A and B are shown apart, each in its own frame.
Chain A
Amino acid sequence: MSVFSSMRRPSTVIGLLCTIAICAVAVDNLVFTDSLMQTTYHRTQIIWFVLGLVGAGLVAAIDPVYVRRVGMSVYFALNILLVLVLVIGREINYSRRWIELGPMSLQPSEFMKLSIILVVADWFDKRRASENWRLRDLIRPAALVAVPVILINREPDLGTSLVVAAIGGSMILYEGIRGRSAVLAMIVVVLGASVAWETGLIRDYQKGRAEAWYQAIVEEEERPRAPSERTQAEQALWAVGSGRLWGKTDADARQSVLRHLPFVHTDFALAPLCTRFGLVGATVLFLLYTGVVGWGLAIANRATERFDALLAIGVAALVFWQFFINAGMVIGLLPVVGITLPLFSYGGSSALTVLVAVGFLLNLSRRGQGRR
């Protein structure tokens, strides 16, 4: 049962090809933004991709049972790291997210995304239930999710904490929840959100972004402003819009706002792509992500074990939520949140995490192959 035997299934091939295609486009995009900023991020990123693919291969090859065994310990270790980050972490852009390890800096919150998938899947798998869950049964998995979410939010890193919450939430929802409980949970979430808004858990700049977004959506007419007053979101929107249907030549794209767009290689990495390849190119990229997510969902649907299904769902949720929130932010559909586009934005921890997650999918599809 080699990794390659699983390739016989078309969904696996499509999913894997989509993943690799995204990586390729990402490298191309980084080459372009590097030329804007005179940087060499693409080289580092290629190394991360290679490392990530090797990691994915390893994960695909080893039995998840081992991963499961260490799952809980890793989860606790990561939580301790998250606490440590708050104390000794390196501060970049007013938040502490990184731990220095020699020449590298690691972001434990990224790995928490994987860990939460394993832990939640494990928790549900150990319990029998043939019907949908009641709210009070879900307190414990919810707590498993809530602890890292709160810790990550303290860094502050609203984006990642939202992703972790979304992954956990998606898995719980997929597992099934009673109708009444779902309504109740929704009320709790809405109340919690408004309390967070009022009590300052949501920071002022975050509120400002949300309000700016609301205004931009509600008010039809955007008002151009001087560069110093422009928001990132606005500038990104102009960059995206100037791509039109087919995109611009690189020279044109370079000349326009891209030069002034901040975080053009990380959070807003999608913007240059939209400028260069237009609606067509962006839609193709979106379809690539849909392919990866669909692959995960298909594996979940096929899985015979509850753990396998939830693992696949978790990976699909990991890719989907990050993709949706980031893309929505860049094209002005959602407010600005610090979430990167998986595999596409520059960042080692993130690339490694997503590729390892893809490795889980590979593993599952291989296993499904062998089982049937």
Chain B
Amino acid sequence: MGLSLGKSHDPQRYRPHFRVAMVLVLAAVAALVARLVLVQVVRGDRYQKYAAIERVSRVRAQAPRGLIKTSDGTVLARNIESHSLEIMTNRVKPERIEPIAATLAELLDMTDAERASVINELKKPVDPRKRRPLTVRRDLVSTHCPYDSSALELTTEQPHGYCTTCGRHFEAVPQKKTCPFDQRRLVASGNGGWHCVACDREFLDGDHCAYDGQPLRMEPHILRCPLCRRTFNDEVAVLRANLHRLPEARVVADIQREYPYRYLASHVLGYMGYVGPRDLEPPLPFGTPRFGMSDRVGRSGLELAFDEALRGLDGEQLIVKKPSGEEAAHDLDDLVAALKPRQVVAGATVRLTLDVDLQRAVKVAMKDVYSGAAVVIDPSTGYILAMYAKPSFDPNELSGKHAPQARPLDEISAYAPLLNKALRGYPPASTYKVVAALAGLQEGIINAKSEYTCSGHYDFGGRRFHCHNRRGHGEVDVHDALRGSCDVFFYRVGEELGIERLEEWSRRLGFGEPTGIEIRESVGRVPSREWYRQHVPGGYFPGFALSTAVGQKDVLASPLQIARVYAALANGGQLPSLTIVEGFEDAAGKLIAPNRLPGRDIGVKKANLQLVRAALRAVVNEEGGTAFGSKPDSVVMAGKTGTAQAPQRLRKEMVERLKDDPGQLARLTAWLQNDHSWFVGWAPWGTPKVVVAVLIEHGGSGGHNAAPIARQIVDAWFAKHPAPPDLEPAPVREKKKPLPVEQADDAADEGAPHDGNDTPSVEPDPSPPEPGPEDAP
């Protein structure tokens, strides 16, 4: 029997199967060969060319960041090229260290100490894996003055001496002993040299330092700053021309953000910082890197808010290399076209509504303020014309290539310079009384004639609520109450309104909501029964409504929010949506205005609004008004002062820091006990053009301290802009009531020390407030 276990079969049965299989196999091979012909012969040319490209690399081409301008074309943030000198430490051989330092000292103005430190750095052992270059000098002088960023001019060679020991610069003594820069007569320094009193420059005939007698290095300077008139050498050009002597060194160019106005609008503009791990979240799909390693991103203000628009879109540059390694782009045009490198889209230029002159005037007006903020807005458009917070900072310092970390700067000062105080919530104090007034009038709790008697305090719920005027305002109606900022009147109104209606009207007037500004802001706080239940142990107590009605305790609003509310009062009831950005400029410089949210009506009867407006006019213009002393010269201003109780304790870190300076510690501690002072107003009264809000942190009385600043700002504005005729005549009041005698001298003294008009310090009944019905089990 056969070797196989299977039964024999009929081979004929397989015959057709075999044929089919054979045909299929041959067809498959034919298909393969046909495909080969297509690939190798028909398209072979193309593939051969593609294959010849060893490397096509795409290099990132960074988009230039957009500018920040004002509407009149003043540039507030721009890009400049900055150069730094680096030495690639891993390439430095030990015997080259001294020659390198010598060459550098020859090419740059370098003191002996600087030179020694370079040698010292180079002698340190290098970790071959890290390969961090040593930055010898940054911000090398090239085309712009390192002091004021003006473009440098070529000048005739100015003889210039440099002492490598002390680092002083000496100019040659001019013919007439007159400073060639200020045309001032020079003064003998007593050591053989001369100096100019105006510019502090030193002049010397001779080649040895007037101070330490060391030989000077003499070199001509060929660049001059037209603004500060200092002379310079083009360090970048000198270094580049001599790089062959320093094969280990390189001059690195970098684009840096620059803010020519420095402290002027730093909180609005913000600053830039290096990209960090958190900026990479959430990651983009396909692993595309969002940033390069040394990119900087906006860290605050507009730089942060419009970071993406300002940044633009990075593009690509193609580098095509042939197998031999040389770049070969010339015969590969079609390939480059096919690769479609991404085009660079430059960042958009942002045009602001800020007015630089006004901003400067605000800065000047705030010069004596330690800490605070001022905003100016246009009540008809909602444009923010000025926004300044104090203390300010120099964004250049923070955005510089080797910026110190932002956080320590914030901590070295009790005044929090990085904080934009115009957008931070503070107790609005008496500026909030317009809410209670309007709510009371609208809800029919009071009318123009309603009067309450102010005896200096008001007892409610077993507690005594004080008026800032301890002697009392006497009989006051709503006009008098706003003018003299009577607390007792508004305690009564607040009591009758209750927290719910106060909350409703606050929100209707724009408290507790974003103003619309593009920068991140605090929305403040409008306390409600619910809020008290969640945040205050013991829950809601009806007395809270009284404190709220006078803007103390738990209400919070930013100066910008307050300005917005008063803009609505100024323009007749339209709550505008605020903005600081007029629009974007496209590549051609054409303005693309963004869509604006329309303002909304606050829904107040004309008569009621007019009543409040007249009272606010009286605050500044009538005797007895809390800001009577701050009448602007140019126009009629209306407004409201505020003095917010905000005693604070010094932060622990500050106490720690100042423990060696008890005087400063005591000063700061006392300062923090002061009240915040507020003023918010508009001008002219009948045809409002500007709304000004001023907040001074711990500034004391609003009428004494904040109102004069507002007056100065208003005067500055109308010095430049024509004041429209005040179409509305001054309102006439039927009732003319003599003021209580004692009030006349106290009226403006709103911020006189008082224990607090809402602190239960003097209450005879210390029993806790009765629990609200919702707290009952």
Contact residue among A68, A223, A227, A237 (Cβ-Cβ distance under 8 Å from B4): A68
Asked if A157 lies at the interface with its beta carbon under 8 angstroms from chain B, I say no
Given the known interface contacts A241-B44, A244-B40, A278-B40, the answer about A301 and B14 at a Cβ–Cβ threshold of 8 Å is yes
- Chain A, range 247-278, C-beta contacts under 8 Å to B: 255-257, 259-260, 274, 278
Given the known interface contacts A224-B50, A238-B50, A241-B43, the answer about A279 and B36 at a Cβ–Cβ threshold of 8 Å is yes
- Within the complex, the shortest CB–CB distance from A339 to chain B, in Å, comes to 14
| Cα distance A238–B43 in the bound complex, in angstroms | 10
Fill in one digit per residue for A313-341: 1 if any B CB lies within 8 Å of its CB, else 0: 10010001000100110011100000000
Contact residue among A259, A320, A327 (Cβ-Cβ distance under 8 Å from B25): A320
| Contact assessment for A242 and B48 in the assembled complex, using a CB-CB cutoff below 8 Å | yes
Contact residue among A176, A226, A289 (Cβ-Cβ distance under 8 Å from B13): A176
Asked if B33 lies at the interface with its beta carbon under 8 angstroms from chain A, I say yes
Secondary structure at chain B's binding surface: helix, strand, loop or mixed?
Answer: helix
Asked if B17 lies at the interface with its beta carbon under 8 angstroms from chain A, I say yes
Asked if B56 lies at the interface with its beta carbon under 8 angstroms from chain A, I say yes
| Contact assessment for B17 and A294 in the assembled complex, using a CB-CB cutoff below 8 Å | no
| Cα distance A227–B14 in the bound complex, in angstroms | 51
Contact residue among A227, A287, A308 (Cβ-Cβ distance under 8 Å from B56): A227
Given the known interface contacts A226-B339, A297-B18, the answer about A305 and B2 at a Cβ–Cβ threshold of 8 Å is yes
Asked if B7 lies at the interface with its beta carbon under 8 angstroms from chain A, I say yes
| Cα distance A293–B3 in the bound complex, in angstroms | 25
Fill in one digit per residue for B641-667: 1 if any A CB lies within 8 Å of its CB, else 0: 000000000000000000000000000
| Contact assessment for B39 and A331 in the assembled complex, using a CB-CB cutoff below 8 Å | yes
Q: Can you name the residue of chain A whose Cβ is closest to the Cβ of B14?
A: A309
Q: Can you name the residue of chain B whose Cβ is closest to the Cβ of A301?
A: B18
- Within the complex, the shortest CB–CB distance from B29 to chain A, in Å, comes to 5
Contact residue among A173, A256, A306 (Cβ-Cβ distance under 8 Å from B7): A306
Segment touching B, from A9-17, A20-28, A125-133, A354-362: A125-133
Q: Which residues of B contact A307 (CB under 8 A)?
A: 4-6
Q: Which residues of B contact A304 (CB under 8 A)?
A: 8-9, 11
- Within the complex, the shortest CB–CB distance from A334 to chain B, in Å, comes to 9
| Contact assessment for A256 and B323 in the assembled complex, using a CB-CB cutoff below 8 Å | yes
Contact residue among B7, B35, B54 (Cβ-Cβ distance under 8 Å from A331): B35
Contact residue among B26, B47, B338 (Cβ-Cβ distance under 8 Å from A241): B47
Given the known interface contacts A241-B47, A244-B44, the answer about A333 and B6 at a Cβ–Cβ threshold of 8 Å is no
Asked if A347 lies at the interface with its beta carbon under 8 angstroms from chain B, I say no
| Contact assessment for B56 and A237 in the assembled complex, using a CB-CB cutoff below 8 Å | no
- Within the complex, the shortest CB–CB distance from A312 to chain B, in Å, comes to 10
Q: Can you name the residue of chain B whose Cβ is closest to the Cβ of A173?
A: B17
Asked if B51 lies at the interface with its beta carbon under 8 angstroms from chain A, I say yes
Q: Which residues of A contact B26 (CB under 8 A)?
A: 290
Asked if A65 lies at the interface with its beta carbon under 8 angstroms from chain B, I say yes
How many residues of A sit at the interface, in one of the four size bands? 35 or more
Number of A-B contacts (CB under 8 A): 165
| Contact assessment for B32 and A306 in the assembled complex, using a CB-CB cutoff below 8 Å | no
| Cα distance A173–B15 in the bound complex, in angstroms | 13
Q: Can you name the residue of chain A whose Cβ is closest to the Cβ of B10?
A: A130
Asked if B31 lies at the interface with its beta carbon under 8 angstroms from chain A, I say yes
Asked if B754 lies at the interface with its beta carbon under 8 angstroms from chain A, I say no
Asked if A286 lies at the interface with its beta carbon under 8 angstroms from chain B, I say yes
| Contact assessment for B56 and A300 in the assembled complex, using a CB-CB cutoff below 8 Å | no
Contact residue among A257, A283, A367 (Cβ-Cβ distance under 8 Å from B33): A283
Asked if A225 lies at the interface with its beta carbon under 8 angstroms from chain B, I say yes
Q: Which residues of B contact A306 (CB under 8 A)?
A: 6-9
- Within the complex, the shortest CB–CB distance from A271 to chain B, in Å, comes to 11
| Contact assessment for B18 and A65 in the assembled complex, using a CB-CB cutoff below 8 Å | no
Asked if B37 lies at the interface with its beta carbon under 8 angstroms from chain A, I say yes
Asked if B57 lies at the interface with its beta carbon under 8 angstroms from chain A, I say yes
Q: Can you name the residue of chain A whose Cβ is closest to the Cβ of B6?
A: A125
Asked if A240 lies at the interface with its beta carbon under 8 angstroms from chain B, I say yes
- Within the complex, the shortest CB–CB distance from B658 to chain A, in Å, comes to 56
Q: Which residues of A contact B57 (CB under 8 A)?
A: 226-227
- Within the complex, the shortest CB–CB distance from B301 to chain A, in Å, comes to 38
| Contact assessment for A241 and B56 in the assembled complex, using a CB-CB cutoff below 8 Å | no
Q: Which residues of A contact B46 (CB under 8 A)?
A: 241
| Contact assessment for B41 and A256 in the assembled complex, using a CB-CB cutoff below 8 Å | no
Q: Can you name the residue of chain A whose Cβ is closest to the Cβ of B34?
A: A333
Asked if A63 lies at the interface with its beta carbon under 8 angstroms from chain B, I say yes
| Cα distance A137–B2 in the bound complex, in angstroms | 26
- Within the complex, the shortest CB–CB distance from A247 to chain B, in Å, comes to 9
Q: Which residues of B contact A197 (CB under 8 A)?
A: none
| Contact assessment for B51 and A294 in the assembled complex, using a CB-CB cutoff below 8 Å | no
Asked if B335 lies at the interface with its beta carbon under 8 angstroms from chain A, I say yes
| Contact assessment for A174 and B17 in the assembled complex, using a CB-CB cutoff below 8 Å | yes
Asked if B445 lies at the interface with its beta carbon under 8 angstroms from chain A, I say no
- Within the complex, the shortest CB–CB distance from A15 to chain B, in Å, comes to 14
Q: Which residues of A contact B11 (CB under 8 A)?
A: 301-304, 309
Asked if B22 lies at the interface with its beta carbon under 8 angstroms from chain A, I say yes
Q: Can you name the residue of chain A whose Cβ is closest to the Cβ of B11?
A: A304
- Within the complex, the shortest CB–CB distance from A16 to chain B, in Å, comes to 19
Given the known interface contacts A257-B51, A306-B6, A306-B7, the answer about A300 and B14 at a Cβ–Cβ threshold of 8 Å is yes
Asked if B53 lies at the interface with its beta carbon under 8 angstroms from chain A, I say yes
| Cα distance A187–B637 in the bound complex, in angstroms | 89
Q: Which residues of B contact A65 (CB under 8 A)?
A: 3-5
Q: Which residues of A contact B54 (CB under 8 A)?
A: 255-257, 259-260
* B32, B33, B43: residue with the most chain A Cβ atoms closer than 10 Å: B32
Q: Which residues of B contact A128 (CB under 8 A)?
A: 7
| Cα distance A328–B32 in the bound complex, in angstroms | 6
Contact residue among A130, A224, A240, A320 (Cβ-Cβ distance under 8 Å from B40): A240
- Chain B, range 218-262, C-beta contacts under 8 Å to A: none
Asked if A31 lies at the interface with its beta carbon under 8 angstroms from chain B, I say no
| Contact assessment for A331 and B48 in the assembled complex, using a CB-CB cutoff below 8 Å | no
| Cα distance A259–B321 in the bound complex, in angstroms | 14
Q: Can you name the residue of chain A whose Cβ is closest to the Cβ of B316?
A: A226
| Contact assessment for A224 and B339 in the assembled complex, using a CB-CB cutoff below 8 Å | yes
Contact residue among A63, A241, A293, A332 (Cβ-Cβ distance under 8 Å from B51): A241
| Cα distance A303–B17 in the bound complex, in angstroms | 13
| Contact assessment for B40 and A333 in the assembled complex, using a CB-CB cutoff below 8 Å | no
Asked if B752 lies at the interface with its beta carbon under 8 angstroms from chain A, I say no
Asked if B102 lies at the interface with its beta carbon under 8 angstroms from chain A, I say no
| Cα distance A290–B28 in the bound complex, in angstroms | 10
| Contact assessment for B338 and A223 in the assembled complex, using a CB-CB cutoff below 8 Å | yes
Q: Which residues of B contact A174 (CB under 8 A)?
A: 14, 17, 21
| Cα distance A282–B10 in the bound complex, in angstroms | 39
| Cα distance A174–B11 in the bound complex, in angstroms | 12
| Cα distance A233–B769 in the bound complex, in angstroms | 80
| Cα distance A124–B14 in the bound complex, in angstroms | 14
- Within the complex, the shortest CB–CB distance from B184 to chain A, in Å, comes to 64
| Contact assessment for B51 and A242 in the assembled complex, using a CB-CB cutoff below 8 Å | yes
| Contact assessment for A279 and B29 in the assembled complex, using a CB-CB cutoff below 8 Å | no
Asked if B58 lies at the interface with its beta carbon under 8 angstroms from chain A, I say yes
Given the known interface contacts A223-B338, A224-B338, A226-B339, the answer about A367 and B3 at a Cβ–Cβ threshold of 8 Å is yes
Q: Which residues of A contact B58 (CB under 8 A)?
A: 226
| Cα distance A236–B78 in the bound complex, in angstroms | 49
Asked if B605 lies at the interface with its beta carbon under 8 angstroms from chain A, I say no
| Cα distance A36–B18 in the bound complex, in angstroms | 43
Question: Which chain B residues have a beta carbon within 8 Å of chain A's beta carbons?
Answer: 2-11, 13-15, 17-18, 21-22, 25-26, 28-29, 31-33, 35-37, 39-41, 43-44, 46-48, 50-58, 323, 335, 338-339
Question: Which chain A residues have a beta carbon within 8 Å of chain B's beta carbons?
Answer: 63-65, 68, 122, 124-126, 128, 130, 173-174, 176, 223-227, 237-245, 255-257, 259-260, 274, 278-279, 282-283, 286-287, 289-290, 293-294, 297, 300-309, 313, 316, 320, 324, 327-328, 331-333, 367
Q: A259-B54, A297-B22, A301-B18 are in contact. List 19 more A-B contacts (CB 8 A).
A: A125-B4, A223-B339, A225-B339, A226-B56, A226-B57, A227-B57, A238-B50, A242-B52, A243-B40, A255-B54, A274-B36, A279-B37, A279-B41, A300-B14, A305-B2, A305-B4, A313-B21, A331-B32, A331-B39
| Cβ-closest 5 pairs across A and B | A241-B47, A125-B6, A242-B51, A242-B48, A238-B51
Pairs A–B under 8 Å by Cβ, sample size 11: A64-B3, A68-B5, A125-B4, A226-B339, A242-B44, A257-B51, A282-B36, A286-B29, A305-B4, A316-B25, A320-B25
